[in-house]
Amino acid sequence: MSDAKALSDPTVIIEVLSPSTTAFDQGTKLEEYRRIARVRTIAFVDPANELCRTIERQSDTGWLDHIFSGERGIPIPTLDLLIPHDEIFARD
């Protein structure tokens, strides 16, 4: 797969939120992401509150929305991946 295809035809989108744009990102941008036919997982990372939100496409039945905090991290079933909380929110 070429890098251009990966950028133009994603199956997973991960977005790090900032306090000034979080409402826009989880509103308008989320709806734009949902319209991308091949997208299966959308993840939002909120570093200020150390929260992760995933929205998973459930075939033709809509979307499943989860919020994760604490030790678990972000599960990305589309990629068969769990990104650990400590790696997401590592600070130097």
DSSP 78: G
Supply the pLDDT for residue 29.
96
CATH superfamily name and code, 11-88: tt1808, chain A (3.90.1570.10)
Q: How far apart are CA 36 and CA 49, in angstroms?
A: 28
Q: How confident is the model at residue 1 (pLDDT cuts 50, 70, 90)?
A: very low
Supply the pLDDT for residue 18.
94
- 54 burial (CB, 10 Å; 0-12 / 13-18 / 19+) is buried
- The predicted model scores a pTM of 0.85
Q: How far apart are CA 86 and CA 70, in angstroms?
A: 9
Q: Is the pLDDT of residue 16 over 80?
A: yes
Mean pLDDT of the chain: 87
Q: How confident is the model at residue 4 (pLDDT cuts 50, 70, 90)?
A: low
Q: Is there a contact between 75 and 12 (Cβ–Cβ < 8 Å)?
A: no
